[in-house]
Amino acid sequence: MRKVLIPTKLDPIAAETLRTHGFEVVQEPKTPLADLAAAHPDAAALIVRSEKVDAALLDRLSELKLVVRAGAGYENIDTKHARRRGIDVMNTPGANANAVAEEVVTLILAAYRHVVRGDNTTRAGQWEKNALMGRELAGKTVGIVGMGNIGQLLVKRLGGFEVEVLAYDPVLSEQRAAELEVELCALSDLFSRADIVSLHIPETPETRGLVNADLLGRMKEGALLVNCARAGVINEDDLRAARASRRLGYCTDVYPKDEPGPKSVADIADLMLPHVGASTEEANATAARRAAEQAVAYFASGVTTYVVNRALPVGLDERYQLLAYYVTRVARGFLGPGVQPQRIEASFYGDLRQYQDFLLASVVLGLSSGFDPLFDHQQALQYLAEKGIAYTSRETDESKGYGNSITIDLMESSHRTSNRCSVRGTIAEGLPMVSRLNDFDRLYFEPTGHSVLVVYRDQPGMLATLTQVMADHNTNIDDIRSPHDPRTGESLAALKVNKPVPDAALERILAQPGFRRATAFTI
């Protein structure tokens, strides 16, 4: 009989489900996890919430095969050490999404109607009716940054308030946005137009400090910012300055660390909660049930869906994971930041065909840094479906002799425009390389660092004009490739440069005769 440790106050449905399927369950929320592990070193599985599962604890459990985080985030688990020990780590994404969406609505209404202050002062015998003039949510514009499970549920929960909803998500398709009845817009536009901005993005190197002085300075006087995502996505000092100058409201339940003690945002937050977005009876029950069901399926049938630290399949060179990411990222960059892909078509050539399911996560990561690259094929498909993006893996013609290579086509098709970008990549001289972009063949461009892609009419002097613009913006060109398409009479300049290229430089390039497209991105 396999033993499962539950060192947390998890809904009883977890233990009931496990026992029904023949597991021995030890659930002791009041016993320190280290002590529980010492008493039960033969446990095969561990189900936790926010308890810290570090290397030392994992080493105490010699028979451990599985750790399940009853929730989405798993920063409290040493996933790398677990992988070294051959231990799979799972999460239960989406189980808490509705709870967080409802918390956001709660914070908005509580802030608008001064609920906390009204309760405190009335209990104290005061009567601050005139001082507690509030605002109504109806008729307001709400901007949602990040349209994953929580963002999409928040749209539904706001449905009865007659609000206009703006959405920023670099992956959400226009078709899906239309189904949700939200308006896709640029991040800067969202911050400028919204009365309320709610954040629902992960904290990654790309999003850390994303909400800064520039975005905060665009907000309306007296607008409200709600952060139930991660503390690090906001530049706290910039928020402090913007609050003082623009009377911004701020509600949060996220902090650098989940622990008692003073909070650095106490002076600028109108409402603060102790990270209780997922703390509802219903969310606890859903996460508990799913954690138990995943553990049962794992041991009974070998189902590894939602494993977040999976090992590389035997025979797959990890450089092809990077290649899948790079190829997709280049295609995304070439389409431009304002384009929302609605379809992906992929071709995996040579030995890579057998690993296509595993490589899909890297493809999706190339579209959005908000996707976890350790997620599996089913989670990748689910993520794309949520964003309204269709995915097809095409049959390949091996007679073409492409070897081990990957082709990714991204397509946008809307009432306004139809764009398509096709990029092929392979490993050359030990490095991931882009070998073709659309009909510009034999490119062999290493797509790391800062890149600029420019399409122009092939005629004398065009490259000189391009390099002069780079020089005028004090940008050094480290490498340049310029394949020609004889069918169209156009060429592609692929530049590796030493720093990000500003929009002003791209606008200047496009203002010159004969230049059709200019995009810049950083990988």
Q: Which CATH class is domain 316-448?
A: alpha beta
- What number does CATH give the domain 3-95+281-301? 3.40.50.720
Predicted pLDDT of residue 316: 84
CATH dotted code for 97-272: 3.40.50.720
Please report, as a single letter, which amino acid is at residue 79.
T
C-alpha triplet 17, 22, 27: angle, nearest 5°: 60
Q: Coil, helix or strand for 315?
A: coil
Query: What are the tokens at 124?
Result: 């104290």
What is the predicted pLDDT for the residue at 114?
Answer: 97
Tens of each residue's pLDDT in the chain, 523 residues: 899 999 999 999 999 999 999 999 999 999 999 999 999 999 999 999 989 999 999 999 999 999 999 988 888 999 989 988 999 999 998 899 999 999 999 999 999 999 999 999 999 999 999 999 999 999 999 999 999 899 999 999 999 999 999 999 988 888 899 999 999 999 999 999 999 999 999 888 788 999 999 999 999 999 999 999 999 999 999 999 999 999 999 999 999 988 899 999 999 999 999 999 988 999 999 999 999 999 999 998 888 888 888 777 777 888 898 899 999 999 999 988 778 889 999 999 999 999 998 899 889 988 887 666 666 788 888 889 988 999 999 999 888 888 999 999 999 865 454 688 999 999 998 889 999 999 999 999 998 899 999 999 999 999 999 999 999 999 999 999 999 998 999 999 999 999 999 999 999 999 999 999 999 988 8
> What stretch(es) of the chain map to CATH 3.30.70.260?
449-523
CATH 3.40.50.720 domain range(s) in the chain? 3-95+281-301, 97-272
Question: Can you say how many angstroms the Cα of residue 129 is from the centroid of all Cα atoms in its chain?
Answer: 43
Strand arrangement, sheet containing 249-252 = 183-184, 164-168, 141-145, 196-199, 224-227, 249-252, 271-272
Return the pLDDT at 203.
85
Global pTM?
0.78
pLDDT (0 to 100) of residue 415: 47
Question: Who's near 520: CB < 8 A, 6+ residues apart?
Answer: 333, 450, 451, 452, 453, 500, 501, 505, 506
DSSP per residue over 339-365, as a string?
A: ----EEEEEE-GGGGGGHHHHHHHHHH
Q: Quick one: pLDDT at residue 358?
A: 87
The CATH number given to 449-523 is 3.30.70.260
